[in-house]
Structure formats: structure tokens, C-alpha cells
């Protein structure tokens, strides 16, 4: 006889849902609290432009929620373009494919699966003062509420949070009129001093579209894409996008058909900015119980290298395994989750933060090596799946030097 814990989860994003689904596979009673019904998400504004990498797709398969087969919806590579006087153009191939499905399709479908499998869903807006009574109701409360409401429960860790403000001003939208790259892949285009473009083959309610995620440096020539509101003059905004693509991100521009180019629908654009922040792994509540943070409420990364959701899913997975294996939900439990996920989750955060900084010499060396050596570009690309490995290569100039010495 196995006694089963009762788990409460705040938040129905990827973190909360992957954890909830995993626990339901083991018959653990789970309640997810969320402020928005799935239908509101489905019909709402674009949430993000998330690419899932192979480890996340493996978890989806294990959870029985891989509804968009990666061979059909996914892509196989990264096309890199680094602008400048002597542009670098090279490709890195994944061993296993990634894919990007609009979260307005993805999250509602997983929410449905969660409920079908006996998960409880309570739709209500929670406040900070609800946390303690909720924790009373369950053996463990996991907070997976994203970067909003509950962040203050988990103090910021300054030693892992080098930035006080956003490093990029974002504009992300799904567009038609852009031919996919060959082979189908994400194009990562950097315009030094101005920011990056991630061009992502994304499946949405409108079918196969292209997400353009502009990561614009504050003060640079592209900042305006994040600042000028699309809604004020949609056509003018689209012309602005085309104009900036032509100047800064030519590899994507050359695949645009200007006659067809437009946002797929007025809700399919999101503009804003976020401050990368790593927070404490858990909080001790006044009643003596612990609340564990997973996903964005624990670690917010800038989306410039597409790590946040993958990291959130990893965190959910580790948490689920520990819930199933452990005998209590005390500080020892929380610390063990923290220790087990640290390499991947903090690796993702640290690598991302490096990519936001003015590129140090050794990162430029790395790009140079990728341009010259396909195997290195492939390894770099595969390490989007393993941010801990990537960080171990990129953390210092010495490490990158040693990595390159071994590979050449």
C-alpha cells in the first residue's frame, strides 16, 4: 500500500501542467489553481513563441501529450547569421528535432488532458495571502504562477541576477508571407549593437506561420519595434518591420514576399520586456510548510535563446520525480529539488545572460569556430537541449579555449 500525497499547484502554464500530468500518471491527487480558463487563453493574445527542444518533447511523449508530432510540425536546425563588416553565415543541425506550437493551442489541450485524467482545475484569481491557506489544504504547494503575482514570495538571488532591468525590448508576432528556410529551421540573426531576430517556424490556429521574435537592444535602431504600438497603425507597423528586416536581418528578409507579408491576425502580436531574474527555490510559510517555486516564478530568462519553457518543464519533471520518491515535503525535499535542477535551470539562466551582454571575445571566437567547423556548430545547436553543457563551455574564456582546442 502506497500512501499518496495530495499536491496543489498554482498556475496552468507548462510548468504546472507538466507536473500535474506527471503526477496524475501515478494517481496522485492534484489540484491546479489558475486565474484564466483555457478558453480565454485560446481566444486571447499571442502569449510567446516557444520552441520545445528534444528533452521537453521526450517528456511530452512520456506524458502522452505529444499531440503535434515533431516530425510533422517541427524543424531540424538553426540558421545563424551574424551581421557586421564580414557577416558569418552558418548552420547547426540538431540530432533530434525541436518544434514550436502556439501556446494558445498547446496549453488548452494539455489542460483538457489534465482534467480528463482526473486532475482538478480551479479557476480563480489568487492573491499572495491565499498561499498559506492553500498550502494547508495540500501536502505540498508548488507555485508555478509565472513571472507575475507570486514572485515576491521568492526573494531575488542577486548573485545570479546580474541585470536590474530588461536587456531587450521585445516584439513578437506571427506573420504570413515568409517562406521557410531550407532545411526548415529557426533562423537566429544578430545585428550587432541592435539586437537579434529569432525567426521561428510556428504552428498556430492559422496553420504554419512564421513567428518573428525581435530582441531589440534598448537605445538601438530596432528598439522602436518594441516601443511603437502595433494597434496604433497596423499597416505602418508591418512596413516598419519589413524595413528593419531589410536593414538588419537580411537572411530572413530575402525570403519575404512583401505582397503577402502581414500579421496573421491583430491579436497575434505581443510587445514588452522582462528582467531576467533568478529567485530562491522555495519559501518557508509562516505555518511552517514549504512552497516550492518552478518555472518562471523561479527563473525568468529572456527568450533570446528559447530556454524558459524548456527549463520550466525540466523543473516540473524533477519536482514530480522527487514528489513520487520522497517521504516528506520539508526543507530537505525542497533542497533536493533545487540541487537536482540547478545545473540545467541555472545553466540556462547564465548562458542566456551571457548572450544578452555585449559579446565577450571568447563568444566571438566560438561563433568564428562554428562558422568554420560544422561539427562545432552542430554541438552548439544540440546544446540548446542541454544548457548545462553549453554553460560549461561558455562560462569563461579558458573553458571556451579548452573546448575549441579539443574539438579542432
Binding residue (CB under 8 A) for a second copy from 159, 164, 182, 398 = 398
343-352: buried (b, 16+ CB within 10 Å) or exposed (e) per residue?
bbbbbbbbbb
CA atoms within 13 A on the CB side of 132: 6
Output 128 or 332, the one with its CB closest to a second copy.
332
Helix (H, G, I), strand (E, B) or coil at 220: coil
CB 221, min distance to a second copy, A: 36
- Say if CB 55 and CB 307 are below 8 A apart: no
Helices in 43-159 by DSSP H: which ranges? 54-63, 70-73, 103-116, 131-137
Output 10 or 153, the one with its CB closest to ligand FAD.
10
Intra-chain end-to-end CA distance of the chain, in Å = 56
CB 31, min distance to ligand FAD, A: 12
Q: What is the DSSP letter of 231?
A: G
Size of the site for a second copy (CB under 8 A): 25
Binding residue (CB under 6 A) for ligand FAD from 6, 45, 67, 125 = 125
Residue 304 as a binder of ligand FAD (CB under 6 A): the answer is: no
Q: Which of residues 194-253 bind ligand FAD (CB under 6 A)?
A: 213
CB 10, min distance to ligand FAD, A: 6
CB 12, min distance to ligand FAD, A: 4
Q: What is the C-alpha to C-alpha distance for residues 404 and 408, in angstroms, rounded to an integer?
A: 6
Residue 9 as a binder of ligand FAD (CB under 6 A): the answer is: no
Q: Where does this chain touch a second copy (CB under 8 A) — which range of 1-9, 29-37, 79-87, 299-307?
A: 1-9
Residue 235 as a binder of a second copy (CB under 8 A): the answer is: no
- Stated length of the chain: 408
Residue 326 as a binder of a second copy (CB under 8 A): the answer is: yes
- Say if CB 287 and CB 132 are below 8 A apart: yes
Q: What is the C-alpha to C-alpha distance for residues 198 and 196, in angstroms, rounded to an integer?
A: 7
| Residue (of 15, 107, 88, 99) closest to 385 by Cα position | 99
Q: What is the C-alpha to C-alpha distance for residues 265 and 176, in angstroms, rounded to an integer?
A: 10
Q: Where does this chain touch ligand FAD (CB under 6 A) — which range of 30-38, 83-91, 159-167, 238-246?
A: 30-38
Q: Where does this chain touch ligand FAD (CB under 6 A) — which range of 33-41, 86-94, 237-245, 390-398?
A: 33-41
Binding residue (CB under 6 A) for ligand FAD from 172, 241, 354, 370 = 172
Picked from ligand FAD, a second copy, none, the partner binding residue 16 (CB below 5 to 8 A depending on kind) is ligand FAD
Q: What is the C-alpha to C-alpha distance for residues 347 and 22, in angstroms, rounded to an integer?
A: 24
Picked from a second copy, ligand FAD, none, the partner binding residue 35 (CB below 5 to 8 A depending on kind) is ligand FAD
Q: Where does this chain touch a second copy (CB under 8 A) — which range of 17-25, 160-168, 203-211, 329-337?
A: 329-337
- Site track 339-358 with a second copy (rule: CB under 8 A), x = hit: x--xx---------------
Output 125 or 397, the one with its CB closest to ligand FAD.
125
CB 124, min distance to ligand FAD, A: 7
Q: What is the C-alpha to C-alpha distance for residues 350 and 391, in angstroms, rounded to an integer?
A: 7
Q: Where are the beta strands (DSSP E) in 150-296?
A: 169-176, 185-191, 195-204, 207-216, 262-263, 269-272, 277-278, 282-284, 290-293
Picked from ligand FAD, a second copy, none, the partner binding residue 284 (CB below 5 to 8 A depending on kind) is none
Binding residue (CB under 6 A) for ligand FAD from 9, 33, 291, 383 = 33
Helices (H) and strands (E) in the chain, counts: 15, 17
Helix (H) or strand (E) holding 44: none
- Say if CB 341 and CB 278 are below 8 A apart: no
- Say if CB 21 and CB 62 are below 8 A apart: no
Q: Could you list the residues that contact ligand FAD (CB under 6 A)?
A: 10-16, 33-36, 48-51, 125-126, 144-146, 148-149, 170, 172, 213, 295-296, 303, 306-310, 312
Q: Could you list the residues that contact a second copy (CB under 8 A)?
A: 1-3, 326-328, 330, 332, 336, 339, 342-343, 391-393, 395-396, 398-400, 402-403, 405-406, 408
Amino acid at each position: 500500500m502506497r500512501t499518496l500525497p495530495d499536491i496543489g499547484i498554482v498556475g496552468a502554464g507548462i510548468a504546472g501542467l507538466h507536473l500535474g500530468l506527471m503526477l496524475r500518471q501515478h494517481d496522485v491527487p492534484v489540484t491546479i489553481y489558475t486565474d484564466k480558463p483555457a478558453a480565454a487563453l485560446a481566444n486571447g493574445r499571442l502569449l510567446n513563441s516557444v520552441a520545445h527542444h528534444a528533452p521537453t518533447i521526450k517528456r511530452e511523449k512520456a506524458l502522452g501529450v505529444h499531440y503535434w508530432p515533431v516530425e510533422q510540425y517541427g524543424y531540424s536546425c538553426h540558421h545563424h547569421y551574424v551581421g557586421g563588416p564580414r557577416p558569418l553565415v552558418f548552420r547547426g543541425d540538431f540530432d533530434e528535432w525541436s518544434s514550436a506550437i502556439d501556446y494558445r493551442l498547446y496549453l488548452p489541450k494539455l489542460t483538457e488532458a489534465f482534467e480528463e485524467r482526473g486532475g482538478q482545475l480551479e479557476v480563480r484569481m489568487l492573491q499572495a495571502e491565499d498561499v498559506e491557506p492553500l498550502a494547508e489544504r495540500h501536502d505540498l504547494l508548488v507555485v508555478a504562477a509565472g513571472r507575475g503575482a507570486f514572485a515576491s514570495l521568492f526573494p531575488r538571488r542577486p548573485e545570479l541576477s546580474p541585470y536590474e532591468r530588461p536587456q531587450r525590448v521585445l516584439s513578437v508576432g506571427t506573420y504570413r508571407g515568409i517562406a521557410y528556410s531550407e532545411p526548415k529551421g529557426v533562423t537566429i540573426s544578430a545585428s550587432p549593437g541592435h539586437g537579434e531576430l529569432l525567426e521561428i517556424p510556428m504552428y498556430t490556429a492559422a496553420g504554419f506561420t512564421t513567428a518573428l521574435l525581435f530582441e531589440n537592444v534598448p537605445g538601438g535602431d530596432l528598439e522602436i519595434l518594441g516601443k511603437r504600438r502595433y494597434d496604433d497603425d497596423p499597416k505602418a507597423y508591418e512596413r516598419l518591420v519589413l524595413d528593419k528586416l531589410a536593414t538588419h536581418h537580411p537572411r530572413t528578409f530575402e525570403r519575404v514576399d512583401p505582397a503577402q507579408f502581414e500579421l496573421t491576425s491583430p491579436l497575434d502580436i505581443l510587445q514588452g520586456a522582462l528582467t531576467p531574474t533568478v529567485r530562491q527555490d522555495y519559501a518557508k510559510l509562516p505555518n511552517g510548510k514549504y512552497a516550492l517555486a518552478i518555472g518562471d516564478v523561479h527563473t525568468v530568462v529572456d527568450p533570446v535563446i528559447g530556454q524558459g519553457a524548456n527549463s520550466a518543464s525540466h523543473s516540473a519533471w524533477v519536482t514530480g520525480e522527487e514528489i513520487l520518491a520522497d517521504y516528506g515535503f520539508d526543507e530537505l525535499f525542497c533542497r533536493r529539488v533545487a540541487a537536482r535542477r540547478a545545473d540545467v535551470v541555472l545553466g540556462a539562466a547564465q548562458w542566456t545572460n551571457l548572450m544578452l551582454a555585449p559579446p565577450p571575445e571568447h563568444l566571438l571566437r566560438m561563433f568564428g569556430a562554428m562558422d568554420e567547423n560544422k561539427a562545432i556548430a552542430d554541438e552548439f545547436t544540440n546544446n540548446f537541449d542541454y544548457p548545462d553543457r553549453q554553460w560549461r563551455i561558455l562560462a569563461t574564456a579558458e573553458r571556451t579555449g579548452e573546448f575549441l582546442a579539443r574539438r579542432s
